[in-house]
Structure 1
Amino acid sequence: MNQALSPERVRADVAELLGCDPAEIEPDDNLTDLGLDSVRTMVLIERWRGAGADTLEYADLAEQPELAHWTALLAGGAA
């Protein structure tokens, strides 16, 4: 597992761009419905690529925009 992309880090990064407290985001929330648009998603992708998720693509996140799915992709399955 990539320690730089822990479940806490993924949740905190998403919350930062949504302008909310990380605790407000449930694992099964649709992040698009919460206001995360494609531009913000690309910001996250670039941030996470810089932290070691070199193969992460927009489609990986866009097809299933739930925090639990993103955490599984980035933190090795820990949701």
Structure 2
Amino acid sequence: MTGTGPTALTVERIRADVADVLGEDPEDIPVDENLVDYGLDSMRIMSLVERWRRDHGITTTFVDLAERPAIEAWAPLLGAVS
């Protein structure tokens, strides 16, 4: 079976996607710090939510992510696997 359903997010995928919307290298994006300090704004968070809904079937909302903008806080909300 190939590509029949959404795939689970990983912490590294979240980090890579955040880096992509910020135009940064994933290694420069910490998992434990406030991403707003790195330039993540509401429009970028909405873009990530839409991407993850489309590609990974997440149901987490913008508000859930905006309340705690750090990858380590998002991982459990997004059902990320290690």
Shared fold (TM-score, shorter chain, > 0.5) = yes
Percentage of pairs with the same residue: 53
Structure 1 runs (4+) greater than 4 angstroms displaced: none
Taking only aligned residues, the RMSD between alpha carbons, in angstroms, comes to 1.5
Identify the residue that residue 8 of structure 1 maps to in structure 2.
Answer: 12
Mapped contact 2:11–2:71 kept (Cα < 8 A): no
The answer to whether the aligner puts 1:19 opposite 2:23 as a matched pair is yes
Identify the residue that residue 45 of structure 1 maps to in structure 2.
Answer: 49
Aligned-partner residue type, residue 40 of structure 1: R
In our comparison, the structure showing a higher alpha carbon Rg is: 2
Aligned-partner residue type, residue 76 of structure 2: A
Identify the residue that residue 57 of structure 1 maps to in structure 2.
Answer: 61
Q: Unaligned stretches of 5+ in structure 1?
A: none
TM-score by length of 1: 0.84
Q: Unaligned stretches of 5+ in structure 2?
A: 1-5
